[in-house]
Structure 1
Amino acid sequence: MIRHLRAPLAAALLCAAVTMPAWADGNEDNLACYEEFKEGGDERLAIYYCSRAIESGDLADADLITALLNRGVAHKMSGNLKMAVIDYTSALKLSPDDALILANRANAYRELGELDKALSDIDRSLSLAPERAASYYVRGAIYEAQGQGAKAAQDFAKAYELDPENTDYKSKAGAQ
């Protein structure tokens, strides 16, 4: 009797194994993380997928940097600024001259009130990529938080000059 049960059980297990979906690899999870940033995305899901991608060990350095950056952005969007800084710092260990990551970390430091660290990062970001309007905007916000209105106004004006279509830059620059 036991012999007769083994064959159907083995067949059932084989069918179940064949029809079960395969686990996603790190690259698929990295893509799923990015997809969560689209309009209406969920930063908690982005963090989940980015974390799976990072922990998979499947990612090339460039993709790992992207996953860390994206998870940092998701942490920042969810209000967890300290985790955002940790992810940006990890990404910078792999790509120390990345102006975007430096600017993102500067902005997170600014929101944490760590203005000296924020200014150091954003100045370095601007030295690497002086054409990035967003970096001037972040530095303007840092100067504004430090009570340096004239320097803030200069940077807001520069951000607007580089990207006149951006309504935030236009507003901060006082443009009509």
Structure 2
Amino acid sequence: MAGSMAAAPARADAVDQANYCFVYTRGGQNDKAIDACTKAISSGDLQDADIVSALINRGVAYKAEGRLDAAIGDYTRALKMVPQDALVLSNRANAYLGKGDLDAAEADIRKSLDIDPEAAGAWYVSGEIRQAKGDPGARKDYIQALALAPDNETYRAKVAGK
């Protein structure tokens, strides 16, 4: 009985850390996000869905800090748990793009778009990859992103050629 009593506070702490991880990531507080995500992930007290969420958030924070290999590592680990997750594939494609590994980026973004062709962000990343490859078809991907998210100023600027 004592063991079960100790597990509840540990699980609650892990969930709190996962929640902080999300809040700090969304707030751009990358160092705090990485710390909270790492604590949540390493706790051993999270359900798989919460681990995947923490890995995604930590990957976002790592990428924002320019730690692309760490971001790719987190996305790869998440994909072992949810191999058909379009968002994780798109995020990893974006990190590969940041590293200049355009072939890996393209492979991931194609899989992502096969899974979820309505993801505006994935179309934008696809456009970025195609632009990096010198493919004039990149603009079509930006137009598709804007069609799916017409209020997005970044997509609108890309379509306008800015």
- TM-score normalised to the size of structure 1? 0.83
Q: Indicate yes or no: 2:138 matched with 1:152.
A: yes
CA distance in 2, matches of 1:37, 1:94: 21
1:25 is displaced (CA, Å) by 2.0
Q: Counterpart of 1:34?
A: 22
Q: Indicate yes or no: 2:52 matched with 1:65.
A: yes
Unpaired segments ≥5 residues, structure 2: 1-8
Q: Indicate yes or no: 2:66 matched with 1:79.
A: yes
**Alignment partner for residue 164 of structure 1, among 135, 150, 156?**
150
Partner amino acid for 1:33? C
Equivalent position SS for 1:90: helix
Unpaired segments ≥5 residues, structure 1: 1-21
Matches of residues 1-176 of structure 1 in structure 2 within 5 Å? Answer: 25-39=13-27, 41-149=28-136, 151-174=137-160
Q: Structure 1 residues 148 and 123 mapped into 2: Cα distance closer, same or farther (>3 Å)? A: same
Equivalent position SS for 1:165: coil
Q: Conserved in 1, the CA contact under 8 Å of 2:25 and 2:60? A: no
Q: Deviations over 1:121-142 (max 9, x none)?
A: 0000000000001101000000
Number of residue pairs matched by the alignment: 152
CA RMSD of aligned residues (A): 1.4
Q: Counterpart of 2:4?
A: none
Runs of 4+ in 1 over 3 A off after TM superposition: none
Identity %: 45
